[in-house]
Amino acid sequence: AALNDGLRSQVSAALKEGRVAPTELCQRCLALIKSTKFLNAYITVAEETALKQAEESEERYKRGQPLSILDGIPIAVKDNFNTAGIETTCASNMLKGYISPYNATVVQKLLDQGAVLLGKTNLDEFAMGSGSTDGVFGPVRNPWSYSKQYKEKSVPKSHSEDEESNWVITGGSSGGSAAAVSSFTCFAALGSDTGGSTRNPAAHCGVVGLKPTYGLISRHGLIPLVNSMDVPGILTRCVDDAAVLLGSLAGHDPKDSTTIQDDFKPFELPNLTDVSKLSIGIPKEYHAPGLSSEILALWSKAADLFKNAGAKVVEVSLPHTPYSIVCYHVLCTAEVASNMARFDGLEYGHRSDVKDSTESMYAATRREGFNDVVRGRILSGNYFLLKQNYEKYFVKAQKVRRLIANDFVKVFRSGVDILLTPTTLSDAAPYTEFIQEDNRTRSAQDDILTQAANMAGLPAISVPTALSERGLPVGLQFIGRSFQEKQLLTVAKWFEKQVQFPVIQLEEVKRHDSDVFQHQKSASFS
């Protein structure tokens, strides 16, 4: 089996038929992780435990008793999910060395189904950011920076210029997970999505990024950013695989009371051939300022694709879209201010040596543990929550949130089944360019097309569509009705088949100096 095979169609079959062994698959992935270390996609590689899981899987296959379609499949998990016995850092000094005593529900579900957990992936510190550039372990590099497709299109600025300075970002904050899937080091990865953190890097890295409906997948064990918007995200190389992952993760969790109690039935996606009964909505406000003409053209082309295939394609309006970022800014910082209060050094995580008083110990711990971005959001959040500001900002934002959610309700009620929008404003920026602006500005710009779906709790998916003029991936987004993932993914799968997005052609990679990536580490636990 090739590392770029789809789960359902190829790899699982290969495992079942004994054409490839789980240990072999695991070893190949681990070797690839080592040779792509310069991407900095992984914070922790759990080599020993992964190999052990692979061995156990192999035993099960020999007995003809695989636990599920995921048995033996190598998976990576974003480092803001708790994993028992494996360090969970959230790319922050605050949790460096923190070893969780429990598994997040989604991690437990994957392990219970026999998946092989390769390691924890890199992110922006505490998932705050849209570049995967602001974590303490350094930025993640987009694998496409090293692709034939990108290199062919880049004009070397000078004779001595190295590809070192040319590399592009993955987007964020689940950049490590997206890079891991994109570079074939795993078959699927978990991310998180609060403002677009799964869909944004998926679009930049040419992979499928699914944000499920809020309440479908358990958040228990996902270190929270914004409790009312966070969801675990799924990153895979094709839509069918996303459906498989969704099937194994969705459903009520007694440990997360915000998961709905309805029965969830895993589904296989039909091969849609007739789209004539479909109504696709094109929200005009998503033609946002700053949208590149290239992406605008692709979006238009996609709409025509549906139209020519017989679907009804209509322009719709979501009038409060321009306010979703401002609304998010207030609600996010407010919830962050509350959620980050748990980090005081007393029970876990970093603890300062200051001993004068509890308050001064807390203050010093947080001063030492959090980066500027996190501290900035905590302070802003506290400002908006001050008694004199509460109504004016926090409650006001909650009202605007309802207006945003209602916009979607109205559109879906008018007969539209699915919305089609761009995922990002442009293709991935070079790192040197991206860091010119600060985190908040970047997040405000980059989240504009993805954020509203989190406000309204709706399911959304980014599907790789085409390569840009620079040879980099561009994704388009589909937004569906609440809990209608089957319809959403069916349409996404049809679209994926039509566009035939090219496979990344990773060049023979040069060995990079290890001191460039001094933060990368391999973990083995006895």
Cβ neighbours, 10 Å, residue 482: 17
Pick one of 199, 237, 329, 442: the residue that binds other proteins (CB under 8 A).
329
Marked catalytic residue, from 57, 92, 197, 468: 197
Pick one of 1, 351, 437, 502: the residue that binds other proteins (CB under 8 A).
351
Stretch that binds other proteins, among 180-188, 277-285, 399-407, 490-498 (CB under 8 A): 399-407
Asked if 173 contacts 446 with a C-beta cutoff of 8 angstroms, the reply is no
100-129: contacts with other proteins (CB under 8 A):
101
Q: Is 217 in the site for other proteins (CB under 8 A)?
A: no
Q: Which is nearer to other proteins, 60 or 396 (CB)?
A: 396
Marked catalytic residue, from 57, 173, 177, 324: 173
Written in H, E and C, the secondary structure of 292-361 is CHHHHHHHHHHHHHHHHCCCEEEEECCCCHHHHHHHHHHHHHHHHHHHHHHCCCCCCCCCCCCCCCHHHH
Q: Is 457 in the site for other proteins (CB under 8 A)?
A: yes
Asked if 504 contacts 144 with a C-beta cutoff of 8 angstroms, the reply is yes
| Ramachandran region, residue 427 (left: φ > 0; alpha: ψ -120 to 50; beta: rest) | beta
**Residues whose CB falls within 8 Å of the CB of residue 260, separated by 6 or more in sequence, listed in order:** 215, 216, 252, 483
Stretch that binds other proteins, among 54-62, 143-151, 199-207, 386-394 (CB under 8 A): 386-394
Residue for token pair 């949790």:
95
Q: Is 436 in the site for other proteins (CB under 8 A)?
A: no
Q: Is 444 in the site for other proteins (CB under 8 A)?
A: yes
Instruction: Please say if 174 is a catalytic residue.
Output: no
- Do the strands 208-211 and 231-236 form a parallel or antiparallel pair, or are they unpaired? antiparallel
Q: Which is nearer to other proteins, 238 or 332 (CB)?
A: 332
DSSP 443-467: HHHHTTTTHHHHHHT--EEEEEEEE
Pick one of 66, 119, 201, 215: the residue that binds other proteins (CB under 8 A).
215
Please count the residues of this chain forming the interface with other proteins, following the rule CB under 8 A: 69
Q: Is 288 in the site for other proteins (CB under 8 A)?
A: no
Instruction: Please say if 293 is a catalytic residue.
Output: no
The rounded distance, in Å, linking the Cα atoms of 241 and 481 is: 21
For residue 222, give the nearest of 212, 233, 213 by alpha carbon: 233
Pick one of 38, 184, 214, 306: the residue that binds other proteins (CB under 8 A).
214
Instruction: Please say if 414 is a catalytic residue.
Output: no
The rounded distance, in Å, linking the Cα atoms of 72 and 12 is: 8
Q: Is 425 in the site for other proteins (CB under 8 A)?
A: no
Q: Is 358 in the site for other proteins (CB under 8 A)?
A: yes
Contacting positions for other proteins (CB under 8 A): 98-99, 101, 214-215, 228, 252, 254, 257-261, 320, 323, 326-327, 329-330, 333, 337, 344-349, 351, 354-363, 366-367, 370, 372, 375-376, 378-380, 382-384, 386, 392-393, 395-403, 405, 438, 440, 444, 456-457, 482
